[in-house]
Chains A and B, each alone.
Chain A
């Protein structure tokens, strides 16, 4: 299997001088292509920081991160933008669709940024919107869509440029259980049909149970990790909750 993400002894400090906070204290793990990994942990465990350093939004203080064979810590400001554009897809908690753009323009945005020609962009938009069931909404603006439709548009935008890795930050936050379930099914769809590699940060055990593997963080370090393997989702969720309890934090959701 191709290694899509390698995190080696990742360290991240915030602040400077005498007042510094260690958010990551040497995290190491790898992800294979087509893998769906969830990261869990209590507040302050470093899971959001991990996602931020992998997404290059924040620089590492130490260690190394390699995405699709490219070490990100060596990249300059402009190269980082290109890297995010070419290698990463994002799904944010609040969808983060640009309200001034139509659905089609939102989905096409990563290809526009890559300066792909109009014909190919249109073909790709149709391909992913068909796979995610938003073809009928292409001419609409985000404010004209339901919450579920916005989720699907956000997913379509994340996969259209065939990124090496999709990063999802609390994607089900503030959603009702029906929407959460729908979104997770979209994730599985992207993972299985479009062979997307997904790294998702969540505090919700039910959401995490859709992943192939769950990494648990505590105090900036990997506390534990479990693989789903052949287990049923319900069983996997139960195991996740057991670890969450020993972590001494987190919340339980019901999806």
Chain B
């Protein structure tokens, strides 16, 4: 019988439960997708080390968010109760016991929750695959169906169940102990006027100043060269920022409408004064909530924008750090040939060009056998080939040597160049194997990521022959087990280490597998100290993308939860308030306010109420653009402010779009509610 009443009530109260239903369904879908993603085989697509590191973090984030959702839904449930407390008061006066009423309400919310759970899981089945597709696309891999995870699905159901219990507690306690007279009273007591409006105006102004100051100070901090040593200052700026973001809506809620009321000419026409007074009372009663929601939305706006901006710079940063698709250096002990490496690489991707070159290092010792100096040499033809691979044609050297200076940055005026050549050292000479070689000039290479030394001597073939012979002789004399032998006084030691650079025709391939095979091949080196280093651009890109993808997943999840919860709170709270205002609307209608006028008043109240928490996050988008622009300035790709502005605006647009959906639903439900009240007999 009681469940029949509960079921019938849900059917009749469909409008009231719509926001609740939509919110819980979307939340369940979100939880289902994220839990499945974390616990499914999708994680195997990423490297094991990332998954092992991030999986527990993501699960912790989901757990914390579930607690937040439970409390928000609990708060939302009390709004639903407020809309109908008169009805429950009537049940009690008709002779129902508290237990009956509690059963009815628990039954209603339980039915809504179960239906939402079902709908959420159905939605989640789709959104999970969409999420997988988005992430595979993010990782630049083709979409493949990923099986659902039983543990992820079960975790979702358990979480939602616990959330329901937590969310119901507050309302059930209220119903258990509320006096019948209070329930029958329905409306809340007459809203009081704002106390100390000037003080709250000062709080609003101070918060606005605090917000601007913290953003400005943060920018200065970011631009300073020693910001890592001033982390305590950063903590202070962040504290000021979030306090200001929270207190600005609180101050505005309690002062701006008071200001408006002082100029009655602005609000004294039509239902204006009614609108402003209603809003003033409502905002005053909800100002703290406005502050909290504003802070949540600020977090929701900053996080994804920061991650998306960082993501956009990954490729550019890799371009700078990786001159070639694959780079490798091998110790001079090694007895392996790079031909074997090229064969392995060729299995995974088409090789466009490759260069195997040798770096000769000649070390001189003093009279005590201590290190005196060291020079690095390379064949001039190898430098010429490397230059050609990088799109630069080196000048002819005519049997002379060239100094290769490696610098971090091009000098002013040559910012876009990678290489430059001048004759500043022309005429200098070096002696190798008793032969004098003349210098043809200096080649400047503005990138420190290819060669480990800052200066190389690119020498002609004859000198290379001498160096190779010297290196082979020294190697033969060294113990093969790597035992250290102190150098002789005034001795010269020469080593020859092979290097490989490869350009690939294919952008994307299974870099993880390739690197694994290359490392396995390197381990087959018969030399005891024959290690080989590999730098594979695609593998690093996949690693970074995988890392950011999961962090982004966590961050987007938090943002989505915050945004959803904010919308739901605002919509349900304003609906519960409008329900309490029914009689006021009816009174106004009887006095001659048209339905259109009441509709406009309702719209203005709801819009302003729901929009206030968005003021700070949306205003924040303006300084966010230059700040994000600055943070990526150090990277290889300094994103244009236009591109960042488009991204920030896009994200703000998504939030506003969601807001519009919730607002529209809430407005239509409220309008219907008011129309029904006006149409009621008497």
Contacts and interface: CB of A to CB of B under 8 A. Distances in A.
B397 to A, nearest CB: 90
Is the interface on chain A under 10, 10 to 19, 20 to 34, or 35 or more residues?
Answer: 35 or more
Contact of A105 (B190, B273, B281): B273
B489 interface: no
A21 to B, nearest CB: 11
Contact of A98 (B269, B272, B588, B594): B588
Question: In the complex, which of the residues A83, A90, A96, A112 has the most CB atoms of chain B within 10 Å of its own CB atom?
Answer: A112
Nearest to B681: A58
Interface string B568-603: 000000000000000110011111111111000000
B676 interface: no
A113 B270 contact: yes
Contact of B193 (A83, A109, A141): A141
A56 to B, nearest CB: 9
Contact of A115 (B270, B583, B584, B681): B270
Given A77-B595, A100-B281, A143-B190, A57 B273 contact: no
Contacts of A81: 589, 592-595, 597
B7 interface: no
Contact of B592 (A14, A84, A100, A141): A84
Interface string B650-682: 000000000000000000000000000000011
Nearest to A79: B594
Interface string A75-96: 0011001111110101010001
A118 B268 CA distance: 7
Interface string B260-286: 000011001111111001101100000
A180 B277 CA distance: 31
A105 B592 contact: no
Contact of A55 (B270, B590, B595, B681): B590
B427 interface: no
Contacts of B587: 92, 96, 98
Contact of A90 (B265, B270, B272, B590): B590
Interface in B70-96: none
Contacts of A112: 268-273
A113 B682 contact: no
A101 to B, nearest CB: 5
Interface residues of B, number: 32
B190 A57 contact: no
Contacts of A108: 268, 273
Given A84-B592, A105-B273, A112-B268, A99 B190 contact: yes
Contacts of B482: none
B629 to A, nearest CB: 47
A179 interface: no
Contact of B269 (A100, A105, A115): A115
A191 interface: no
A52 interface: yes
B276 to A, nearest CB: 9
A67 B216 CA distance: 66
A129 interface: no
A110 interface: yes
Interface in A193-211: none
A216 B222 CA distance: 85
B56 interface: no
A58 B680 CA distance: 9
Question: In the complex, which of the residues A48, A86, A113, A143 has the most CB atoms of chain B within 10 Å of its own CB atom?
Answer: A113
Interface of A: 14, 48, 52, 55, 57-58, 77-78, 81-86, 88, 90, 92, 96, 98-101, 105, 108-110, 112-115, 118, 121, 141-143, 157
Given A81-B592, A110-B592, 9 more contacts: A81-B595, A100-B278, A101-B273, A109-B274, A110-B591, A115-B269, A115-B270, A141-B193, A142-B190
